[in-house]
Chains A and B, each alone.
Chain A
Amino acid sequence: MAVLEVKDLHVEVVDQEKKISKEILKGVNLTVKTGEIHAIMGPNGTGKSTLSETIMGNPRYHVTSGQILLNGENIVGMPVDERARKGLFLAMQYPAEVPGVTNTEFLRAAINARRPKDNPVPIREFLQELDKNMDLLDMKQSMTERYLNEGFSGGEKKRNEILQMLMIKPSFGILDEIDSGLDIDALRVVARGVNAMRGDNFGALMITHYQRLLDYIVPDVVHVMMGGKVVKDGGPDLAKKLEDEGYAGLRDELGLDIELVDEN
């Protein structure tokens, strides 16, 4: 069993325009084990993407205090590629486009990065696995030779993130708003992909704004984030309650002094 722990995490980003840094995460605590699916819900602008990018190791986010432990090892300061090879995966809210690099080429490089230099994945084995996973996600064969995310629709990008996760088989998948911009059919397909990963060797941290996703991927634990902190933990019921009462309702119930970007 693998464990991912976030302890009292404080994170700052430097605002590119104003050239000042501001604190986004103000002491996040969280523990995820393989075999578990966690959901993080929270209003816009509360720091959900900041949390996922920071766990993954995007150099734009600066940890000012606290720890991120993967199986007991503090990975703060570890480069993003090393964290990935240790079993972390982030399905990004806004995946980058890389013209000139095909999807297949990229996936093979990612898989081979986890293998000894002199033992790359056999092409046949790779292609079989790729076919299987693309079928699962209802993806067209032509996607393999297209340039990475270039000109992909929102839905295609999300599927492509899940495809990568299925191919790479990480211990922990962090899924940042994998549901945003998807219609119900696409959402079902994406959920099918994530559910296929479910099992003793996989844990997930699903970030979402809406409860809807959780009907398709039922979480074991739900965390609510507001104002850069986890303010409440619960089961799937908590998500339903939020859907009914809204974030403002929960905030008032908890007596928190937080301004929501878009009150809903």
Chain B
Amino acid sequence: MVNTEVDFWEKRRQAALAAYETGKLPYIQRFHYQDWTLFDETQPLASDSGLLDQALLKTDPQQIKIVQFGKSTILIQVPEKLLQAGLIVCDLKTALKEHPDLIEKYYMTQVIKPDENKLLSYHAAFCEAGLVIYVPAKMELAEPIEVELVGDATRKQPWLHHLLLIAGANSSLKFVQHLSTIGEQPQIANLVAEVVAGPNSHIEFSSLDEVGKNTTLYFNRRANLDADSHLEWNCAFMNDADSIGDVCSELVGQGSYGYSKAIAVTAGDEQMAVNNLVINRGRHTTGLINQRGVLLDNSKLIFNGIGQIVHGASGSKADQKNRVLMMSDNAHGDANPLLLIDENDVVAAHAASVGPVDPVQMNYLMSRGIPYPKAERMVIHGFLDAVLSGMPKGMVRDRMLTILERKLIHGQRQRFSEV
């Protein structure tokens, strides 16, 4: 980054660059992606906000809203009252200038480390764009923080973005992000989100991922949970892009609770693999995973649910459910639950299923006159509801429902003459 005052930053990037050169790609169970293009060392250019759908920029003054396009920050709106109460919302560049202490303390130091794998080293060495949000202790945000992250694929250039979300003790917040792209150029995206959940904080993190077809996406979302904190992930993977990534909750503090919900709808030739991890480290922690996938056309989707209870995490609970609906004979899907348990005094369970839509439900809806395609979409909506209903009401949620309907109808057109 241009700011030469920040010494530690340059040093870290040099170290990351070295790690990047020798680093290895992460292993993903039952998924081959090693021949994908996932690195691009060119410098992205600034993006022109005129290309954005202007509806994205609409806000009301009560709202916290951020719009970033490629490496450019287009909008940051935060009610003055909250700024005065200590809320920090700024892009990464500004954070380095104005809050270097926060970056030095939290940026890829505690939650995610640069040397874990080659994709993260690359991220640490090259990423210049990002968003830093610091919610001070005891602050309770009534309205969700809404973030639009738009990749600029109007040129061939990498899209790197880093989100650092820090929730102080006893704070509570809802965070909603929407990832999308503009343009059709081939692009790599490498998007990392780190969440620091302070003691007794309450966080609901929702994400709608709608990354375009010619992008290849790597994402990593991870949270460290302090004592008695509560975190829910609601991830809706509705990309057209091929993608791999992790969603991870580290239940470090005693009594912390993490619930990771994810849905994915894959279509066309799309390929996706997600590791959904919850790691019980502290005592009396609760880690839940609920993943549901819908596969259309020739797509491939691997859902790995990984629940780990480390030695010493007594009185903890891990539970996971993985379900995949196969809507096409040409699709390949797998829901792999994995429980790694190193402690005796725990409760752990898992369930996994792969199959077609439930014929009993279908028959019931159709017996009321609802045609097959519509009934199928209703059953699928219902199937995905475990996650859909977790997203706060608003523009992003509406958008999600629209994309879902569009994807399902598109998939059905391949199979039925009339939809």
Contact = CB atoms under 8 A, between A and B. Distances in A.
A110 interface: yes
A113 B371 contact: yes
Interface residues of B, number: 26
Interface in A99-153: 99-101, 105-106, 109-110, 113-114, 147
Given A58-B363, A96-B361, A96-B363, A84 B368 contact: yes
Contacts of B385: 99-101
B182 interface: no
Interface stretch (B279-287, B330-338, B341-349, B375-383): B375-383
Q: Indicate the member of A90, A96, A147 with the most B CB atoms within 10 Å.
A: A96
Given A99-B385, A100-B384, A106 B363 contact: no
B322 to A, nearest CB: 17
Given A98-B378, A98-B379, A101-B381, A168 B361 contact: no
B363 A85 contact: no
Contacts of A95: 364
Given A96-B361, A101-B379, A101-B381, A110 B386 contact: no
B369 A168 contact: yes
Contact of B367 (A81, A97, A98, A101): A81
Contacts of A218: none
A168 to B, nearest CB: 7
Contacts of A84: 366-370
A85 B364 contact: no
Interface string B69-110: 000000000000000000000000000000000000000000
A77 interface: no
B134 interface: no
A132 B30 CA distance: 55
B374 interface: yes
A235 interface: no
Contact of B372 (A58, A81, A106, A147): A81
Nearest to B366: A81
A79 B366 contact: yes
Nearest to B389: A100
Interface in B367-413: 367-372, 374-375, 378-379, 381-386, 388-389
Contacts of B381: 100-101
A46 interface: no
A175 interface: no
Interface string A8-49: 000000000000000000000000000000000000000000
Contact of B370 (A58, A92, A97, A110): A110
Contacts of A113: 368-371, 374
B360 interface: yes
B369 A100 contact: no
B365 interface: yes
A96 B364 contact: yes
A114 B382 CA distance: 22
A139 B249 CA distance: 43
A171 interface: no
Interface residues of A, number: 28
Contact of A80 (B366, B379, B382, B384): B366
Interface in A51-103: 56-59, 79-81, 84-85, 89-90, 92, 95-101
A164 interface: yes
Contacts of B369: 81, 84-85, 110, 113-114, 168
B365 A106 contact: yes
A81 B371 contact: yes
Nearest to B369: A84
Contacts of A99: 382, 385
Contacts of A56: 367
A22 to B, nearest CB: 20
A98 B364 contact: yes
Contacts of A85: 369
A113 B386 CA distance: 26
Contacts of B363: 58-59, 80, 96
A96 B384 CA distance: 18
A215 to B, nearest CB: 28
Given A96-B363, A98-B364, A100-B383, A81 B378 contact: no
A109 B370 contact: yes
Contacts of B372: 79, 81
Nearest to A81: B366
Contact of B382 (A59, A81, A101): A101
B373 to A, nearest CB: 10
Contact of B386 (A89, A100, A105): A100
A163 B221 CA distance: 46
Contacts of B378: 98, 101, 105-106, 109
A105 B381 CA distance: 11
A96 B360 contact: yes
A109 B358 CA distance: 19
Nearest to A84: B369
A98 B372 CA distance: 15
Given A80-B363, A81-B375, A96-B361, A147 B382 contact: yes
Contacts of A57: 367
Interface in A227-250: none
Contacts of B374: 109, 113
Nearest to B375: A81
30 contacts: A59-B359, A80-B363, A81-B369, A81-B370, A81-B372, A84-B368, A84-B370, A92-B367, A96-B364, A97-B361, A98-B364, A98-B365, A98-B382, A100-B381, A100-B382, A100-B386, A101-B378, A101-B382, A101-B385, A106-B368, A106-B378, A109-B365, A109-B370, A109-B374, A110-B368, A110-B370, A113-B369, A113-B370, A114-B369, A147-B382
Given A58-B367, A98-B364, A164-B368, 6 more contacts: A80-B367, A92-B364, A92-B367, A96-B363, A106-B378, A113-B369
| Nearest 3 pairs of A and B residues by beta carbon | A100-B382, A100-B385, A84-B369
Interface of B: 358-361, 363-372, 374-375, 378-379, 381-386, 388-389
Interface of A: 56-59, 79-81, 84-85, 89-90, 92, 95-101, 105-106, 109-110, 113-114, 147, 164, 168
